[in-house]
Each structure stands twice: as C-alpha cells, then as structure tokens.
Amino acid sequence: MIIKNYIYKDLLQKLAWIIGLLILIFASNKFVGFLSDAAEGNLPADMVFMMLGYKILASLPKIFPISILIAVLLVFTRMANDRELVVLEGAGASKAFQMKIVSQFTAIFCLFVALMTLYIAPWAEQNIHLLKERAKEESDISGIRPGQFKEFSQGDRVVYVQNFLPEKSLMEDVFLQVRQEDNLGVLASDNARFQYDRNSGNKYIVFNDGQRYVGEPGSLDYEITEYEKYAILIENATRKSETLKTAALTTDEIISSENMSHKAEFQWRISLIIISFCLSLFSVLLVQSSSNEKRYAPFVIGISVYLIYSNLLGIAQTLLRREIIPEFVGLWSVHVIFILVLFILYYFPQIQLQKNRQ
C-alpha cells in the first residue's frame, strides 16, 4: 500500500505538471492567433477568451495520451536511475506488480479521458461552431472605428463613421463610397446598420433616410437620389454557413448514425481512451527493457512510438471514413497490433532467459 501511494503521488504530480505545461503552450499559440483576428476585425474582442476556453476543452483529449506517456516515463526513469526499481524487485514488487499499480492509476485517469472525449469535447466543438457563426455576423461591426475609414471587398467599398454604438450595432453620420468599374457612388445617411444574411452569408449595410450620389470622378454630372432605406452589398460570401463538423456531434448522435464518417469519429474517440491506457503500460515495459541504456533513450523511443501509433490511427480513421476498410477492422486493428507489441515486450525477457539457460 505504501509503494502504491508513493507511485500514485509521483505520477499525479508529474501528470498535472505536464498537462498544465501543454495547455499553456497550446493556449499561448492560439491566443496570439485570436488576438490577431480580433485586431483585424474578424473576431469580436469579447469572444477571444470564450473561443480560447472552448478550444482548450476541445483539444484536451488529444493532449492526454502524450501526457500520461511522459508522466509514467518520468516517474519510472527516475526510479530506475535511483535504483529504486531494483529495490522494489528485491522486496517482491515484480514487473507485473508495477504494471498493476500503473494500470489502476491509468484506469481512473481514463475515466476522466472518456468524460472529456465523449461528452465535453463535442460540446466545446459545438460552441466553437456557434461562436464562429456569430463572429461572421459581427466581424464587420467589430472592425468599425469612429473617425476612421474601413475597406471592404478589396477596397471597392469604403465606410466612414462619425459615431458608432456597438451595443446597438448602430452607425451615426455615416457614408459609404462604392466603386463599380469607372463609376463612383457615395451614400450618406444619418444612421445605418449592418445586416447579415444567414442563408447566403452575404453582408449588407442598410442606410436610413439619406442621399445617394452617382457619377464619374472629375465630372460635374452627378445623379442624386434620396431614399428612406437603401441596402448595399459589402461582402459577397463565397460559400454558405459552415456545416457542423463531425467532431461537434454528440456521442449519442454518432452511435445511432449509419454514416461511415460518424462511425470513424466514434472509433477515434474510443481510441483516445485506449491509447492512453496502452501507452502507460508501454512506458513501464520500456523503462524495464532499457534500464541499461542512456538516460534519455526511453523518451526518444516512447515519443517515436507515440507518433507512429497516433499516425496509424489517423490513417485508419481516414481509410474507414472513405470505406476502404470494413468497420470491424477500422481503428481496432491498430490497437490489436500494439497490444501484441506489449505482450512481446512483457514476455521477451523471460523467453530470452530460458534460451540462455538452455
């Protein structure tokens, strides 16, 4: 019991530090990108931290497998270097006993991974989708600054606003310059609003009670029109609103679906749980089998195996989505191969020992 608590405590500390560090690196990278989008007016400023939070939640399941791998490697490599593993084996704590301790710890950790992967991550993806749709509607509004010019449609539309009330999405004392071939038009109004068409994705400015001036630059021949309401297209969407990604679908939806992409997504979510468990056991066996190697050899081998394992899962997911391989093969085949590798690593020293005795 003392040995188990000792290993548990060390594993928990290392795991918390590694997950925290990976989240910090990921968040820093994403935060810079979101700030850039906000500065360009593509993302409202009040959405930056919301988007960052949801992105972190959606990405956590991908962070967990490498985290548990490194945590177990750190703990058992230190114990091997300090000769603690030799002492444990001398006290009767065999390799099987050590793997049992790690598997019990990882089983509890995998319950948390399952919760994040099957429920929380899809929920976060749904909210990311909703925020992106909202950002499309408000991106032009967030880029408007009183007393400054803002270009749309690669400079063919230029807006100037004297006063802007973002909470009401209302622009006061506004004019819009429109360039079409050789003609130049100007619309002036006391107030105007942005309007977003959800179906087409097009963006408009709707002017109220103003004047429209159309003519050729340098000429005194102008056409003046007064209007009560005038809408002009400022952004012509190249595509409609994004459909909900498969990763944003709930687990219940993809389980009941016959779509092969959904089946591949379900197997991928389950695979994140399985790979977390398998990699923790692999780490123990790796340290045991490479105890005489250089100190950092287990980390190089472990991370290389993780990259191969995860890439094979990604390839299998793509093949299953395209219906190149059957569902019963899918991602499960990759796990079966890796479990066979674990058995080989576990029993190989015993086989080698028996051969030496013969």
Q: DSSP for 107-125? A: HHHHHHHHHIIIIIHHHHH
DSSP 8-class letter at 244: P
Rounded to an integer, what distance in angstroms lies between the CA atom of residue 246 and that of residue 265? 7
Q: How far is CA 209 from CA 206, 228, 238, in A?
A: 10, 4, 31
Dihedral sign of CA atoms 337, 338, 341, 343 in order:
negative
- Alpha helix (H) ranges present in the chain? 2-39, 48-81, 84-90, 95-115, 121-142, 251-256, 260-289, 297-321, 332-357
In this prediction, residue 241 carries a pLDDT of: 47
Digit-by-digit pLDDT tens for the chain (358 residues) are 677 888 889 999 999 999 999 999 999 999 988 888 777 666 777 788 999 999 999 999 999 999 999 999 999 888 878 777 777 776 666 777 888 889 999 999 999 999 999 999 999 999 998 888 777 666 555 456 677 777 765 667 787 777 776 655 677 888 787 776 666 778 888 888 777 666 666 777 788 888 887 776 666 667 778 888 888 776 665 444 456 688 888 999 999 888 899 999 999 999 999 999 999 999 988 888 765 556 778 888 999 999 999 999 999 999 999 989 998 898 999 999 999 999 988 887 676 666 666 5
In a domain, 159, yes or no: yes
What is the reported pTM?
Answer: 0.75
Distance CA 346, CA 88 (A): 18
Amino acid identity at 259:
N
Helix axes 332-357, 260-289, angle to 10 degrees: 20
Q: Is residue 194 part of a domain?
A: yes
- Structural domain count, the chain: 1
Domain ranges, residue 183: 144-235
Q: Measured between alpha carbons, how far is 145 from 163 in angstroms, rounded to an integer? A: 8
Residue among 242, 241, 267 nearest 254 (CA): 267
Amino acid at 123: W
Task: Tell me if 140 sits within 8 A of 161, measured CB to CB.
Answer: no
Q: CA 100 → CA 3, 80, 230, 284, 306, distances in Å?
A: 12, 18, 73, 10, 21
Copy the structure tokens of residue 289. 């089998």
Would 319 be classed as within a structural domain? Answer: no
Does 210 map to a domain? yes
Nearest residue to 279 via CA among 349, 332, 341? 341
In a domain, residue 293? The reply is no
Q: Give the pLDDT of residue 121.
A: 94
Residue 315's pLDDT is: 94
**Is residue 283 within 8 Å of 292, Cβ to Cβ?**
no
118 burial level (CB within 10 Å; 0-12, 13-18, 19+): buried
Residue 225 lies in a domain: yes
160's enclosing H/E stretch is strand 157-165
> What DSSP letter does each residue of 175-204 carry, written as one string?
EEEEEETTEEEEEEEEEEEEEE-TTT--EE
The answer to whether residue 177 sits within a structural domain is yes
Bridge-partner residues for 338, per DSSP?
Answer: none
Residue with tokens 């086989």: 351
Closest-CA residue to 271 (of 102, 117, 115) = 117
Determine the pLDDT at residue 222: 72
Neighbours of 100 (CB within 10 A): 14
Residue-wise burial string across 338-351, b where 16 or more C-beta atoms lie within 10 A, e elsewhere: beeebeebbeeeee
| Residue 82 located in a structural domain | no
Ramachandran sector of residue 222 (left: φ over 0; alpha: ψ -120 to 50; beta: rest): beta
